[in-house]
Amino acid sequence: MKFNLVWLILSIYIVSTLPVIAQSSGATLTIYAQGTSNNEVIVNSPVDGFYFQKNQSKFELDSVSQQKKVRIPIDKQAIITVENNFRTAKLIVSPGDSVNLKFHEKDSLEISGSNAEGQLLLNRITNDNTRFRFEELNTESTIDGRKRKLTMLENVDLSKINALVKRKDISEKFANAIKKELSIYYKLLLSTNLFFTARPLVFGDTSTPVDRDFVQAWKELYKPINAGWAESPLFPLLVSRYSSLLSIEYPEVRLKKQPYMLSQIELLEKRLDGRLLEYAWGNAIVEGLANNENELIWIENFERFKNQFPQSKLIVLLKPEIDAVKEYHLKLSQATNSEVEFLDSTAQYSSLKELFRGIKGNFYYVDLWATWCGPCKQELQFSMKLHSEIEEIGYQIIYLSIDDDRADGKWREMVKGYPLKGKNMRASEALRKSLSNEVPKFNGIPRYLIVNSEGEIVEWDAKRPSDGTDLLEQLKSMKR
């Protein structure tokens, strides 16, 4: 009897410890971001092994040490992304790995721990997602020449990976994973190059000749489409390029009056199915709403997604995005707009200096933005939260859109839908054209200016709303 009792107690103990063991699986990530103006860190991990850009966990860095140790709940090797203050790192991690990631102020990364040298190499190779590298292939005038150039570039990187394996700096398993990601990266690089080569056909311009060899090579690049592509953070852009290729074959979809990303979904439905379509579609919904394509039709599209994939784990992750669309339109219907002011007199000004001299008399914090600019709209969320504090310091906020005349209705709707309390202006054509010459080192928007009460621009590159207290301190210092 005693013998049986001992075994019973031991059995209960073993069973009771099993959940603890299961919960302890995963990878450990320690994130440092000394000097950051934003202590929020966003970690994106896969859903059933596939990349979905809204499967996010948000953490706050310790306010003193500006670091955070987190557990990534994965049961097999996966690619995760880590973001802080518009800086992103990509990591390949397995259960049991421990990685230390440090964001430096000048956007460089420091990585130590599991497969550190390989992690750094991964980020060095893929950090620009091909948008700034595709022209490297244009040194070759034929598609065969571009493929040879692409193979040469990829082989250089593969030799670096093999050298790390030989030195035992990375494991064989990690090496295979980074090679897989590298293969997807170089497919995307060629697809991006072919997109720009065949761009006239993509947008229906038949007057500009395009060598059909390039179009054929573009088609071959996507034969077949491997389900493993969906594991990569590059997957949404890779299938976006594919939808551009399909628009050559199905121009009627491109010509429809609907949000761009809805057209992309419609095109991808013609060729993708199963998990590939599920994740391409889900990511396209996120991308479309991030572009503030808040049309009510997205609610209908989401219902269609649920009907086609009723068991999808993406449904619960997409629901808050769709709820935000509903809330946006509710605000529009209820908006009194008493704190939203439209100033429509920009046509008389051909430069920013002229504009601010024309409305001098107050201190202004100026937000240069546009309805099509994703990073601008991310910053608007912080700007709205800081509105009262900025006004208390003695500044008026001017939201200066650089949308063209065709987007006037969309601009006015967005201003009311957010709402953007303060003065709202849309730049004239002459004013838009002057920006690249007038704004020092102008490389796009969002961009922020500080203007004094004499109408003089005293800071051409002010801190962003997401800089929080650093921005408020800068505004205070400009009034002393």
State the DSSP code for 39: -
* Confidence category of residue 9, pLDDT binned at 50, 70, 90: very low
- Provide the pLDDT for residue 335: 60
Start-end of H helices in 30-171: 116-126, 143-166
Mean pLDDT across 218-227 = 93
pLDDT of 284 over the 90 cut: yes
- Provide the pLDDT for residue 14: 36
- Provide the pLDDT for residue 10: 38
With respect to residue 315, please indicate whether it lies within any of the assigned structural domains: yes
**Residues 320 and 366 placed together within one structural domain of the fold:** no
With respect to residue 67, please indicate whether it lies within any of the assigned structural domains: yes
Give the residue from 402, 405, 400 showing the smallest Cα distance to 425.
Answer: 400
Higher pLDDT, 379 or 23: 379
Q: Which of 303, 334, 365 is the last residue of a domain?
A: 334
**Residues 194 and 276 placed together within one structural domain of the fold:** no
- Provide the pLDDT for residue 160: 97
Task: Give the range with max mean pLDDT: 7-16, 248-257, 278-287.
Answer: 278-287
pLDDT of 224 over the 60 cut: yes
Decide: 423 and 396 in contact? Cβ < 8 Å. yes
d(CA 363, CA 392): 12
**Residues 37 and 94 placed together within one structural domain of the fold:** yes
List Cα–Cα distances, 447 to 277, 436, 478, in angstroms: 36, 12, 17
With respect to residue 239, please indicate whether it lies within any of the assigned structural domains: no
**Residues 97 and 182 placed together within one structural domain of the fold:** no
With respect to residue 269, please indicate whether it lies within any of the assigned structural domains: yes
List Cα–Cα distances, 311 to 54, 286, 308, 315, 351, in angstroms: 17, 19, 9, 8, 55
d(CA 147, CA 190): 8
Mean per-residue pLDDT of the chain = 88
**Residues 353 and 473 placed together within one structural domain of the fold:** yes
* Confidence category of residue 17, pLDDT binned at 50, 70, 90: very low
* Confidence category of residue 393, pLDDT binned at 50, 70, 90: very high
**Residues 201 and 280 placed together within one structural domain of the fold:** no
**Residues 284 and 373 placed together within one structural domain of the fold:** no
Output the domain CATH number for residue 383: 3.40.30.10
* Confidence category of residue 6, pLDDT binned at 50, 70, 90: very low
With respect to residue 206, please indicate whether it lies within any of the assigned structural domains: yes
Mean pLDDT across 331-355 = 78
Mean pLDDT across 276-298 = 90
pLDDT of 101 over the 70 cut: yes
In total, the chain counts a number of residues equal to 480
**Residues 267 and 193 placed together within one structural domain of the fold:** no
Higher pLDDT, 282 or 73: 282
**Residues 143 and 67 placed together within one structural domain of the fold:** no
pLDDT of 162 over the 50 cut: yes
With respect to residue 241, please indicate whether it lies within any of the assigned structural domains: no
* Number of Cβ within a 10 Å radius of residue 428: 18
d(CA 104, CA 110): 7
- Count of domains in the chain? 4
Distance between alpha carbon 275 and the CA centroid of its chain, in Å? 22
- Provide the pLDDT for residue 54: 94
Q: What is the DSSP string of 383-434?
A: HHHHHHHHHHHTEEEEEEE---GGGHHHHHHHHHHTT--EEEEE--HHHHHH
What pTM value is reported for the model? 0.76
Q: Which of 318, 334, 350 is the last residue of a domain?
A: 334
- Domain around 195: 115-221
pLDDT of 319 over the 70 cut: yes
pLDDT of 22 over the 50 cut: no
Q: Which amino acid is at 162?
A: N
Residue 146 burial (CB < 10 Å; 0-12/13-18/19+)?
Answer: buried
Output the domain CATH number for residue 45: 2.60.40.1120
Q: Which amino acid is at 243?
A: S
With respect to residue 235, please indicate whether it lies within any of the assigned structural domains: no
**Residues 369 and 439 placed together within one structural domain of the fold:** yes
With respect to residue 19, please indicate whether it lies within any of the assigned structural domains: no
State the DSSP code for 50: B
Both structure tokens of 216: 């054929």
Q: Which of 67, 84, 113 is the last residue of a domain?
A: 113
- Provide the pLDDT for residue 342: 87
Q: What is the pLDDT of residues 60-84, one digit of tens each?
A: 999 889 999 999 989 999 999 999 9
**Residues 395 and 352 placed together within one structural domain of the fold:** yes
- Provide the pLDDT for residue 107: 67
Q: What is the pLDDT of residues 105-160, one digit of tens each?
A: 766 899 999 999 999 999 999 987 787 789 899 999 999 999 999 999 999 999 99
**Residues 189 and 282 placed together within one structural domain of the fold:** no
pLDDT of 327 over the 50 cut: yes
* Confidence category of residue 338, pLDDT binned at 50, 70, 90: low
